[in-house]
Chains A and B, each alone.
Chain A
Amino acid sequence: MAVIDQLAQPDSTRRRPRRTTAGRPPWMDRPSPTMQSLKVVAIAAIVVVMLYPFLYVIMFSFADGRSVGSGQLWPTSFSTSAYESIFAGGVVTRSLLVTAGITVVGTLLSLVFTSMLAYGLTRTRQVPFSKAAMVMVLCTMFFGAGIIPNYLLIKQLGLLDSYWALILPGLISAFNMIVMRNFFMELPQELFESARIDGASEFRIFASIVLPLSKAVLAVIALFYAVGYWNSFFNALLYINDTTKWPIQLVLNQYVVQSNAMTDLQAPDRPAPPAQTVQMAIVVVATLPILVVYPFAQRFFTEGVLTGAIKG
């Protein structure tokens, strides 16, 4: 964890001068009371606008029929019937499993291929044509073939209605690869040199030196890929027609955003929970994995790994 802690501590905080007890550098004036209260109002507004929508959906997913659609700011009733119905084994349960599978397999494969390419491109001086390969990858950041050609490619490859159509097109992101490559190149190169002199193969160096030293960047990139796979919507819309293979984002679009009626949700022996609560419960279960990993991911994003990549 030492490496991770170092990354979470950007240079700028170390350079910052010692502060007074109020957290204010000694040369700075005391802010005026009006200014300070304006700032408090602004902070409160930002927090409410950003968080209340999430809270609202979470709260009302636990409401029953009386509270929904009444325009209340928080519900006055409690019920878990919405969750019971979506976890009863219908469309939502299945799509959650599909999405979890795609996310796990996709993230693992992406991590393997991205780190391999990133390591392969670290020595452009010595390895012939690796610089050309680097340019080839960089160029892909500035153009895209477009919807129709991509669709035709997946069709020609016979991947329509296959889960691979949701994994392969985004297997390596050029941006993530460059972030990783920059990280690898900042590792102490003498380590690799002496390992080479001792007769270690590149595979050995990669597996025993590079990867163990790069846990921090691997964690960040894994999170990026995982969030990407979990959230991926358009590829599924384009390539997956078979509704039994739909990931959660397509289910959300169909039953929540477009408000189409859900036919297989009602358990036969019980009255169906109101559609509004069920919709909110689907939103909650689709958002939950992101909310769970977010606190771990967030500390890396502030500064540290990413700023290096942007500046590089």
Chain B
Amino acid sequence: MSIDAQDPAPAPTAQALAAVPPPEGIAPSADPSAAPPVAPRRRSLLQRMRREWQMYVFIVPGVLFFAVFAYLPLAGNVVAFQDYSAFRGVFDSQWVGLQNFANLLTDDEVLRALVNTLVISLLQIAFAFPAPIILALFLNSLLSERIKRAIQTVVYLPHFISWVIVIAIWQKILGGAGPIAEMFELIGLHGVNIMTNPETFKILVVSQVIWKDIGWGTIIFFAAISSIPTELYESAATDGAGSWRRMWHITLPGLVPVISLLLILTVGNVLTVGFEQLLLQQPAVGANAAQVLDTFVYYRGVAGGDWGLSAAAGLLKGVIATVLVIGANRIAKRLGTGGIF
């Protein structure tokens, strides 16, 4: 994500071309005599800005958008320090200092939401995180390109379906009136409804995540696999390494940088679990099993009207998450795998 790496090559100015011989391919159009006889470095900042005024027509609308819809809402976090009331608004509500944060610590529901969030996150790191790696390795072991492509087409599909539709479809299959419940009926288990059972809910959540995103998750691993030189496999095979050993000693080590990077991102997001997914299913399984930090903020704040407290919960969560990402990135750099920023 380094910005320097993405910079375009500087435009071939007269100076640059005089110093460096022009690379092949651009020689005809970049004839030094055709380039404008100006040296941009000597111009003042204002002159350069005036010269490039057209570019600001492209940049300013986008920058305004991010200022209003990404940065301005950050200021809305002041509500976390207020006894916010919708009638008085942000400017006239009473300031209460850290009272909302103190209330958070004594709120049982916050603790429950935190525990649920962490349990689901850990289950996801244990099962949903490795799933695409395993699938990518499996698909990579298939010899037929056509079969591989066909399976990729099938497994990417659920990624493009909204959570609302995914939950609706799962309800039809696993719910009380679906074919799975009927199968349980046949072996004598009556009234099985996996979709509303609070005890198995967290496993259900992780299964849904795997079903929806296992295919999409393989893309980045395929990119990494395709950059491993084929000669490595070829010479390993000539030295007598079977397909398992080639996978273990060549493919997996080739994936380690990508895996550690993604693990960093996952750890940084440990406080965020599928918000829409849980919001949709909470009415069916109850808050005890399905309340996570984000749904707590929604239900307590937007639905319940306790704006200050839930804004405090959201702010605290955001700050901790940012610290986690930066911390995990430091660790990754120290381990020599390179960070993301």
Q: What's the nearest-Cβ distance from chain A to residue B134, in Å?
A: 10
Q: What's the nearest-Cβ distance from chain A to residue B84, in Å?
A: 9
Residues of A within 8 A of B301 (CB): 147-148, 151
| Measured CA separation A130–B283 after assembly (Å) | 47
| Measured CA separation A25–B143 after assembly (Å) | 9
| Measured CA separation A203–B97 after assembly (Å) | 51
When the two chains form their complex, are residues A24 and B90 in contact, meaning their CB atoms are under 8 A apart? no
Look across to chain A and name the residue whose beta carbon is closest to the beta carbon of B135. A46
When the two chains form their complex, are residues A202 and B74 in contact, meaning their CB atoms are under 8 A apart? no
When the two chains form their complex, are residues A15 and B69 in contact, meaning their CB atoms are under 8 A apart? no
Report which of B6, B143, B162, B283 forms a contact with A258, defined as CB distance below 8 A: B283
When the two chains form their complex, are residues B77 and A146 in contact, meaning their CB atoms are under 8 A apart? yes
B residues contacting the other copy or chain, number (CB 8 A): 118
When the two chains form their complex, are residues B297 and A146 in contact, meaning their CB atoms are under 8 A apart? yes
When the two chains form their complex, are residues B211 and A49 in contact, meaning their CB atoms are under 8 A apart? yes
Contact A54/B70 with A46-B154, A189-B11 known, Cβ cut-off 8 Å: no
Residues of B within 8 A of A168 (CB): 69
| Measured CA separation A210–B285 after assembly (Å) | 52
Residues of B within 8 A of A203 (CB): 54, 57
Stretch at the interface among A87-95, A212-220, A262-270, A302-310: A302-310
Q: What's the nearest-Cβ distance from chain A to residue B164, in Å?
A: 5
Q: What's the nearest-Cβ distance from chain B to residue A273, in Å?
A: 15
| Measured CA separation A39–B151 after assembly (Å) | 12
When the two chains form their complex, are residues A56 and B179 in contact, meaning their CB atoms are under 8 A apart? yes
Residue-wise interface mask of A (235-250) relative to B, using a CB-CB cutoff of 8 A (1 in contact, 0 not)? 0011000000000010
Q: Does A140 contact B (CB under 8 A)?
A: yes
When the two chains form their complex, are residues B76 and A257 in contact, meaning their CB atoms are under 8 A apart? no
- Number of inter-chain CB pairs below 8 Å: 319
User: Within residues 291 to 337 of chain B, which ones have a CB less than 8 A from any CB in chain A?
Assistant: 294, 297-298, 301-302, 307, 310-311, 314-315, 317-318, 322, 325
Contact A120/B237 with A143-B322, A182-B6, A298-B156 known, Cβ cut-off 8 Å: no
When the two chains form their complex, are residues A29 and B242 in contact, meaning their CB atoms are under 8 A apart? yes
When the two chains form their complex, are residues A46 and B219 in contact, meaning their CB atoms are under 8 A apart? no
When the two chains form their complex, are residues B59 and A283 in contact, meaning their CB atoms are under 8 A apart? no
| Measured CA separation A155–B156 after assembly (Å) | 37
Stretch at the interface among A68-76, A78-86, A100-108: A68-76
| Measured CA separation A301–B213 after assembly (Å) | 14
Q: What's the nearest-Cβ distance from chain B to residue A256, in Å?
A: 5
Residues of A within 8 A of B59 (CB): 117, 120-121, 127, 130, 133
Residues of A within 8 A of B275 (CB): 234
A residues contacting the other copy or chain, number (CB 8 A): 124
Q: What's the nearest-Cβ distance from chain A to residue B21, in Å?
A: 16
Q: Does A5 contact B (CB under 8 A)?
A: no
When the two chains form their complex, are residues B165 and A252 in contact, meaning their CB atoms are under 8 A apart? yes
Q: Does A158 contact B (CB under 8 A)?
A: no
When the two chains form their complex, are residues A149 and B230 in contact, meaning their CB atoms are under 8 A apart? no
When the two chains form their complex, are residues B158 and A283 in contact, meaning their CB atoms are under 8 A apart? no
When the two chains form their complex, are residues A306 and B165 in contact, meaning their CB atoms are under 8 A apart? no
Report which of A128, A234, A252 forms a contact with B48, defined as CB distance below 8 A: A128
Residues of B within 8 A of A283 (CB): 165, 168-169, 172
| Measured CA separation A312–B301 after assembly (Å) | 39
Residue-wise interface mask of A (191-223) relative to B, using a CB-CB cutoff of 8 A (1 in contact, 0 not)? 001100100011100100000000000000000
When the two chains form their complex, are residues B179 and A71 in contact, meaning their CB atoms are under 8 A apart? yes
Q: Does A153 contact B (CB under 8 A)?
A: yes
Q: Does A272 contact B (CB under 8 A)?
A: no
Q: Does B107 contact A (CB under 8 A)?
A: no
Q: What's the nearest-Cβ distance from chain B to residue A108, in Å?
A: 15
Look across to chain A and name the residue whose beta carbon is closest to the beta carbon of B225. A12
When the two chains form their complex, are residues B145 and A126 in contact, meaning their CB atoms are under 8 A apart? no
Contact A249/B311 with A123-B55, A124-B3, A283-B168 known, Cβ cut-off 8 Å: no
When the two chains form their complex, are residues A120 and B161 in contact, meaning their CB atoms are under 8 A apart? no
User: Within residues 11 to 56 of chain B, which ones have a CB less than 8 A from any CB in chain A?
Assistant: 11-12, 26, 29-30, 34-36, 40, 45, 48-49, 52, 54-56
Report which of A169, A202, A301 forms a contact with B219, defined as CB distance below 8 A: A301
Residues of B within 8 A of A238 (CB): 302
Report which of B3, B79, B163, B233 forms a contact with A152, defined as CB distance below 8 A: B79
Q: Does B199 contact A (CB under 8 A)?
A: no
Contact A31/B76 with A25-B234, A171-B69, A290-B160 known, Cβ cut-off 8 Å: no
Residue-wise interface mask of B (138-165) relative to A, using a CB-CB cutoff of 8 A (1 in contact, 0 not)? 1001111101010111111110111111
Contact A28/B243 with A22-B143, A234-B279, A290-B160 known, Cβ cut-off 8 Å: yes
Contact A148/B29 with A120-B55, A171-B69 known, Cβ cut-off 8 Å: no
Residues of A within 8 A of B230 (CB): 15-17, 25
Residues of B within 8 A of A46 (CB): 135, 151, 154-155
Look across to chain A and name the residue whose beta carbon is closest to the beta carbon of B220. A310
Q: Does B191 contact A (CB under 8 A)?
A: no
14 contacts between A and B (CB under 8 A): A15-B230, A56-B173, A72-B182, A119-B58, A120-B56, A126-B52, A127-B49, A142-B322, A145-B74, A147-B294, A148-B311, A238-B302, A249-B162, A301-B219
10 other A-B residue contacts (CB within 8 Å) besides A43-B142, A231-B165, A287-B165: A50-B158, A57-B168, A71-B183, A126-B11, A127-B52, A128-B49, A146-B315, A197-B36, A249-B162, A303-B222
